Amino acid sequence: METKQPSYKYLGFVTAGIIATLIVSNVSAVKLISFGPFTFDGGTFLFPLAYIFGDVLTEVYGYKPSRRVIWTAFFWLAIATVTFQIVILAPASVDDYAGEAFGIVLGSTPRIVLASLVAYVCGEFVNSYVLSKMKLLTNGKWLFTRTIGSTIFGQAVDTFVFMLIAFYGVFPNDVWLQILVSGAIFKIVIEALMTPVTYAIITWLKRAEGIDVYDWKTDFNPFKIYNA
């Protein structure tokens, strides 16, 4: 007998926020930025918001909806990437004046595309898993330990996987390590500073949806999307 999925009022908004943040961050990542002693890509400014949405998603709705949203976001990021490549390869009009710039900004190499997709999936699943397990261990108390703790693990995995696939061997090892460490630290600090906002959103959503899910009997297999 098929179990009817609960109906949520705001899950669609959270899902859209994650997808939009992910796509915009990947486009912005083309530019490298220096900020004091730190060097990181432009997507670092917005990308932590995806993990804030991810924390809200898992804390309020649980791991199972998070799993579906992560794969949904992955799908649309892949669609956006493929679309950009098709547009770049399509014959340009005689009136085209921005084709070259379009190709430079959005024409990521296959290596960077692969890095973005794999890093996102790995990092988000680690983030969601750690937060869900910590919620069970703390019996729902000390939310800040879950949002910050899951971010440390999730962002560390995301940044390492992306840098390993996209840029290892491209930059000198010292520059590669500087970008890796700078990016991870910057993202973690941003989410830590955003903890009061995350608290407020989670508290409001739990009241609005009338739920507070605990994943006591959840199958954490990331590939088990349906009937799980």
Domain spans of the chain, in order of start? 11-90+99-209
**What count of other Cβ atoms lies within 10 Å of the Cβ of residue 113?**
20
- The predicted pLDDT at position 108 comes to 62
- CA distances (Å), 120 to each of 21, 87, 91, in order? 12, 24, 32
- CA distances (Å), 183 to each of 38, 49, 74, 223, in order? 8, 14, 21, 28
- The predicted pLDDT at position 1 comes to 37
pTM of the model: 0.82
Please determine, for residue 4, whether its predicted confidence score (pLDDT) is greater than 60.
no
Q: CATH classification of 11-90+99-209 is 2.60.40, yes or no?
A: no
- The predicted pLDDT at position 226 comes to 63
Q: Which of 12, 22, 131 is nearest to 73 (CA)?
A: 22
Q: If you average pLDDT over every residue of the chain, what do you get?
A: 82
Burial of residue 221 (number of CB atoms within 10 Å: 0-12, 13-18, 19+): exposed
